[in-house]
Amino acid sequence: MTSARGRRGRLALCAAIALLVVMVAISLMIGARAVAPAVVVDALLHPDLSIADHSVILEQRVPRTVIGVLAGAALALAGTLMQGLTRNPLADPGLLGINAGASIAVLAAITLWGITSPSGFVWFAFAGAALASIVVGVIGTRGPDGSSPAKLALTGAAVTAGLTAVSTLILTTSITAFDVFRYWQVGGLTVRGLDTVAVVAVPILIGAVIAFSSARGLDLMALGEDTATGLGHSVARTRVLGIVATVLLCGGATSIAGPIVFLGLLVPHALRAIVGGDYRWLLAVGAPTGAIVLLAADVLGRVIAPPGEVQAGLVVAFVGAPVLISLVLRRRSVTL
């Protein structure tokens, strides 16, 4: 059984990587103006910004493709971690108040300091996501019984509700904040350059390393906390590392792509039907799969409403909701 799962996991990983390569190529070729594959290769190998197609590829499509790969992989990893930490296959990275924390920090940057560019408020988004997660983590571990998945979820929901209320209050009283914030809030890969990516690339990569190193601990926690402890594993250590990784991953992804919903929930939930409950494979296959989903949503958004575009976050939400509902209805039970 283990050997069969391993073969299935390796096959799924190879397929995901191959499909990601194809999706990256499609992202560079397709848009408001189609570009031939030969021109894409020429632009990457012999860049010349005086050529219109080269300019479109290098200044627009390369940055949004890189952001799509980085943010999609990070959100999928964060979602897998949260589902493992809470032992809930429908848990979401936003459970720790990450999206709400990032949103209120971006609003603060806009209203208090007049920062209106994504490269300017990216650090605010990251810091807000981290701070909200720390607050949820500290409160969620208070009490005589320590931390628990249920307490963490309830604390996260309470913090998210409070921060969302404050955000709504600010948006209803500031037209300037609303005009700038709405483009970030819907979630997308546009209007952001590689300089913005460079700011959060290292934290995301560190989060990914921590996530992969937590795979064995998540597998043991799936057996139950008492069983994991009896086997000599520190549940508290895995939970702390998982929360730190989630903050780095989801905070970084949210700061460069906005609060994209459903992706972190959908990808690991769907992959369990393919690779089973082994977190080594869920994380390994989930990273490229998340990148594929976000890139596909971005490409779809470019072509469904010409000459304009639909932001990737809206496409993910619109397509992801019915897909997730069908998965839940089709599977009567989920084993972690």
My answer on whether omega of the bond before 307 falls inside 30° of 0, hence cis, is yes
Percent of the chain with pLDDT over 90: 41
Give the pLDDT mean for 288-310: 91
User: Which band of pLDDT confidence, cut at 50, 70 and 90, is reported for residue 336?
Assistant: very low
Contact 274, 11 (CB under 8 A): no
Residue with tokens 């609060």: 259
Range list of H helices, the chain: 2-29, 37-45, 52-56, 62-86, 98-113, 118-140, 149-173, 175-185, 194-213, 215-221, 225-230, 235-257, 263-275, 279-303, 312-330
pTM of the complete model: 0.91
pLDDT tens digits, residue range 231-260? 778 888 898 899 889 989 988 898 888 888
The two tokens of residue 161 are 């509700």
Decide if 244 is inside a domain. yes
Buried/exposed code over 152-190 (b: 16+ C-beta within 10 A; e: otherwise): bbebbeebbeebeeebeebbeeeeebeebbeebbbbbbb
Query: Is residue 191 very low, low, confident or very high in pLDDT (cuts 50, 70, 90)?
Result: low
**283: closest CA among 224, 207, 225?**
207
Classify residue 103: in a domain, yes or no.
yes
Asked if 40 and 58 touch (Cβ cutoff 8 Å), the reply is no
**26 within 8 A of 37, measured Cβ to Cβ:** no
Instruction: Tell which wins on pLDDT, 213 or 5.
Output: 213
| Whether residue 176 has pLDDT greater than 60 | yes
Number of structural domains found in the chain: 1
Q: What is the dihedral of CA 116, 120, 123, 125, to 10 degrees?
A: 20
Residue 186 is given by DSSP the state T
Evaluate whether residue 336 is within a structural domain.
no
Rounded Cα–Cα distance for residues 149 and 140 (Å) = 9
Q: Is residue 211 part of a domain?
A: yes
Confidence bin at 334 (pLDDT 50/70/90): very low
What are 113-126's pLDDT values in tens digits? 888 776 777 888 88
CATH label of the domain that carries residue 8: 1.10.3470.10
**Residue range 1-54, pLDDT digits in tens:** 557 777 888 999 999 999 999 999 999 999 888 899 999 999 999 999 999 999
pLDDT number for residue 333: 45
Q: Is residue 265 part of a domain?
A: yes
Retrieve residue 81's tokens. 């971690």
CA torsion through residues 91, 95, 98, 100, sign: positive
Burial class (CB in 10 A: 0-12, 13-18, 19+), 105: buried
- In sequence order, which residues have a C-beta less than 8 Å from that of residue 154 and are 6 or more positions away? none
Per-residue pLDDT at 335: 43
Domain extent for 77: 2-330
User: How far is residue 53 CA from its own chain's centroid?
Assistant: 30
pLDDT at 149 over 80: no
Q: Quick one: pLDDT at residue 172?
A: 87
Q: Is 46 inside a domain boundary?
A: yes
Residue-level pLDDT at 281? 95
**Maximum average pLDDT range among 125-139, 198-212, 300-314:** 198-212
Structural domain contains residue 78: yes
pLDDT tens for each residue of 101-111: 988 998 888 88
Q: Would you say residue 335 lies in a domain?
A: no
pLDDT of residue 70: 95
pLDDT at 81 over 50: yes
Tokens read off for 5: 């799962």
Distance between start and end Cα atoms, the chain: 16
